[in-house]
Structure 1
Amino acid sequence: MMPVDAVITWVDGSDPAHQERLANHLAAAGISRPPEAHSTRFNDAGEIEYCIRSILRFAPWFRKIHIVSDAQTPAILDRLAGTPFADRFRVVDHRQIFRNFEQHLPTFNSRSIISMLWRIEDLAEQFVYFNDDMFLLRDVTPDDFFREGRVVQRGSWRMQSDATIPGRLMNALKRLRGKRKDRVGNLDSQQMSARIAGFPDRYYRLYHNPFPMRRSTLQTFFGEHPDLLEKNCSYRLRSNEQFKTEAVATHLEFLHDNAIVDNSLHVVQLKPSEQLPARVRSKMSKADFDESAAFVCVQSLELAAEPLQREIVEWLDRRIGSTES
Structure 2
Amino acid sequence: MGSNHLQPEIIDAVITWVNGNESIYRQKLLHYLTQTTFVHEEAISPTRFGEVGELEFCLVSLFRFAPWLRHIYLVTDNQTPALLSKLAGTDYEHRIHLIDHKIIFSGFSDALPTFNSRTIESLLWRIPGLAEKFLYLNDDFFLIRPVSPENFFYHNKVVLRGEWKKQQSHSVYYRIRAALKAFKQKYRPKKVHVPRHSLAQIKAAQLLGHTENYFYLYHSPHSLRLSTLANYFSNHAEQLTFNINFRFRHAEQFLTTALASHLEIANNNVVFEDKLRCLQLKLSAQSLRHVKRQLADADRDKNVAFVCIQSLDSVPLLTQNTLFSWLNKRVGSLDSFLANQLVEACIPD
| Cα distance in 2 for residues equivalent to 1:150 and 1:169 | 40
Corresponding residue to 2:291 among 267, 280, 298: 280
Q: Deviations over 1:165-214 (max 9, x none)?
A: 33323333443444951521111111111111232211011111111110
Residues 162 and 148 of structure 1: is their aligned pair in 2 closer, same or farther, counting only changes over 3 Å? same
Q: Equivalent residue for 1:236? A: 247
Residue of structure 1 in register with 2:344 after alignment: none
Q: Does 1:97 align with 2:104?
A: yes
Distance change (3 Å), C-alpha of 1:16 and 1:207 = same
Q: Which residue is equivalent to 2:125?
A: 118
SS in 2 for 1:5: strand
Which 4+ runs in 1 deviate beyond 4 A?
30-33, 177-180
Q: Give yes or no for the alignment of 1:216 onto 2:223.
A: no
* TM-score (normalizing by structure 2): 0.89
Q: Give the distance between the partners of 1:155 and 1:70, measured in 2 at CA.
A: 31
Output the CA distance in 2 between the equivalents of 1:218 and 1:296: 26
Instruction: Measure, in 2, the Cα distance between the counterparts of 1:180 and 1:269.
Output: 30
The answer to whether the Cα contact below 8 Å between 2:281 and 2:310 also exists between their aligned partners in 1 is: yes
| Structure-2 separation of matches of 1:250 and 1:32 | 28
Q: One-letter code of the match for 1:291?
A: K
Kindly report which structure 2 residues correspond to 1:84-163, keeping only aligned pairs within 5 A, or say none.
Answer: 84-163=91-170
Deviation by residue 1:95-134 (Cα, 9 ceiling, x = unmatched)? 0000000011000000000000000000000000011101
Which residue number corresponds to residue 266 of structure 1? 277
Match of 1:273, SS?
helix
Q: State the alpha-carbon separation in 2 of the partners of residues 120 and 32 from structure 1.
A: 28
Q: Which amino acid aligns with 2:54?
A: E
Q: Which residue of 1 aligns with 2:26?
A: 19
**Higher deviation after alignment, 72-81 or 33-42:** 33-42
How far 1:302 moved relative to its partner? 1.3
2:39–2:250 CA contact under 8 A, matched in 1: no
> Partners in 2 of 1:272 and 1:30 — Cα distance?
29
Superposition pairs for residues 14-53 of structure 1, below 5 Å? 14-29=21-36, 34-53=41-60
Which letter maps to 2:200? S
Provide the residue aligned with 1:171 in structure 2. 178
Residue 35 of structure 1: CA displacement? 3.5
Equivalent residue number for residue 314 of structure 1? 325
**Contact 1:35–1:182 (Cα < 8 Å) also in 2:** no
**Alignment match, 1:196:** 207
Classify the secondary structure of the residue corresponding to 2:313.
Answer: helix
Aligned residue identity for 2:281:
L
Amino acid of the structure 2 residue aligned with 1:41: R
Q: CA deviation at 1:245?
A: 0.2
Aligned pair count? 325
Q: Taking structure 1 as reference, are residues 66 and 200 closer, same or farther at Cα in structure 2, changes over 3 Å only?
A: same
1:251 aligns with 2:262: yes
Query: Which amino acid is 2:14 matched to?
Result: V
Deviations 1:148-179 (A, max 9, x none): 11100000001112233333233334434449
The question of 1:4 aligning with 2:11 is answered yes
Distance verdict in 2 for CA 1:86–1:177, change over 3 Å? farther
Farther-moved stretch of structure 1 (159-168 vs 206-215): 159-168
The residue identity in structure 2 corresponding to 1:142 is P
Asked whether the equivalents of residues 104 and 235 of structure 1 are also in contact (C-alpha less than 8 Å), the reply is yes
User: Which ranges in structure 1 are unaligned for 5 or more consecutive residues?
Assistant: none
Where 1:199 maps in the other structure, the secondary structure is coil
Give distance in 2, aligned partners of 1:69 and 1:114.
Answer: 12
Q: Distance in 2 between matches of 1:157 and 1:267?
A: 18
- 3-state SS of 1:264 partner: coil
201-210 or 88-97, which deviates more: 201-210
CA drift of 1:33 comes to 8.7
| Identity across matched positions, percent | 41
Which residues of structure 2 form unaligned runs of 5+?
1-7, 341-349
Deviation at 1:321, TM superposition (A): 1.3
Q: Distance in 2 between matches of 1:91 and 1:159?
A: 39
Q: Which moved more, 1:171-180 or 1:79-88?
A: 171-180
Alpha-carbon distance in structure 1 between the residues aligned to 2:223 and 2:281: 22
8 Å Cα contact 1:198/1:255 also seen in 2 = no
Q: Which moved more, 1:182-191 or 1:212-221?
A: 182-191
Q: Which moves more between the two structures, 99-108 or 153-162?
A: 153-162
CA distance in 1, matches of 2:269, 2:163: 16
Tell me if structure 2 keeps the 8 A contact 1:162–1:168.
yes
Asked if the contact 1:268–1:293 (Cα under 8 Å) also holds between the matched residues in 2, the reply is yes
The 1:285–1:195 alpha-carbon spacing in structure 2 relative to 1, beyond 3 Å, is: same
Secondary structure of 2:322's partner?
helix
